[in-house]
Amino acid sequence: MHDHPRECCCAYVTYVAVRPQAALLVARYAGKPELRARVEEAVRVQQNNDNAVRYGLAGALILEKVVLVSGWVGGVHKLGLSGR
């Protein structure tokens, strides 16, 4: 095949393209230590850069809190995002 490793074509893009997969990953790994590693792997498939990984992890961890803490309202209050 090829002598060189396949490079990601979007290594410089920092927006989070993993959003659709994040919900599935959180559904599978919420509350488990391997969530972070799985999200990083998913982000790096399309965007192999540290900023994209940080954004993807932040979104997944927020979603994880929402899922684990009695739904959306409980998650928002727990994170201090309710504005009250």
* Confidence tier at 2 by pLDDT (50, 70, 90): very low
5 within a domain of the structure (yes/no): no
What is the pLDDT, as a whole number, of residue 47? 84
pTM for this one? 0.66
- Which tokens is 5 given? 């490793």
Average pLDDT of the residues in 26-46: 92
Task: Report the C-alpha gap between 83 and 78 in whole angstroms.
Answer: 12
Residue with tokens 């090829």: 2
Q: Minimal CA–CA distance to 58: which of 4, 81, 74?
A: 81
68 within a domain of the structure (yes/no): yes
Q: What residues make up the domain containing 60?
A: 19-79
3 within a domain of the structure (yes/no): no
Which tops the pLDDT comparison, 17 or 69? 69
Q: Per the structure, how many domains does the chain have?
A: 1
What is the pLDDT, as a whole number, of residue 83? 55
Task: Report the C-alpha gap between 47 and 53 in whole angstroms.
Answer: 8
